Amino acid sequence: MKWHALTNLNQSDLNEISANVLIPPESPWFRGHFPGEPILPGVAQLGMVYDAINHVCKQKLKISGIRRVRFKHIIRPNDHIKIVAAPLKKEKGSYSFRIMLQEEPVCSGIMTVENQPEPE
């Protein structure tokens, strides 16, 4: 079972990453969060941002920091959201991101990633 589906994942000439996401109602994220009133947890939203960055960078990355995160609206089953992440020029490995739902900001912040060392 897929937790979410990233589609139209691309990187612009300015290295801005964008992806469309559909969160199916049967996603495990909605189990117990909350019965009768399912909402997508913040950790799932951050995981989707990481997935988009990791997929475009084509490297094994790990999250080394998250800051200035703001959750502004609720994401529900079957919502179509858009993730946009842009590298910060002065901070290697850091991306300013936002998640949009029908042109409204849902979540924003800065995520820092770094190469994940290969196991020895």
> Given this model, what pLDDT does residue 3 score?
58
Q: How far apart are CA 55 and CA 17, in angstroms?
A: 10
List all residues 6 or more positions away from 8 whose beta carbon is below 8 Å from its beta carbon: 18, 19, 20
User: Active site residue: 4, 33, 55, 73, which one?
Assistant: 33
Tell me the whole-structure pTM to 2 decimals: 0.87
> Is 33 a known active-site residue?
yes
Half-sphere exposure of 112 (CA within 13 A, CB side): 9
Residue ranges covered by each domain of the chain: 5-115
* Residue 31 C-alpha from the chain's centroid: 19
Fold of 5-115: Thiol Ester Dehydrase; Chain A (3.10.129)
83 CB-contact burial (10 Å; exposed 0-12 / middle 13-18 / buried 19+):
buried
> Given this model, what pLDDT does residue 5 score?
66
Which DSSP string corresponds to 76-104?
-TT-EEEEEEEE-TTSTTEEEEEEEETTE
What is the tens place of the pLDDT at every residue in 56-111? 887 889 999 999 999 999 999 999 999 999 999 999 999 999 999 998 999 999 99
| Amino acid symbol at 118 | E
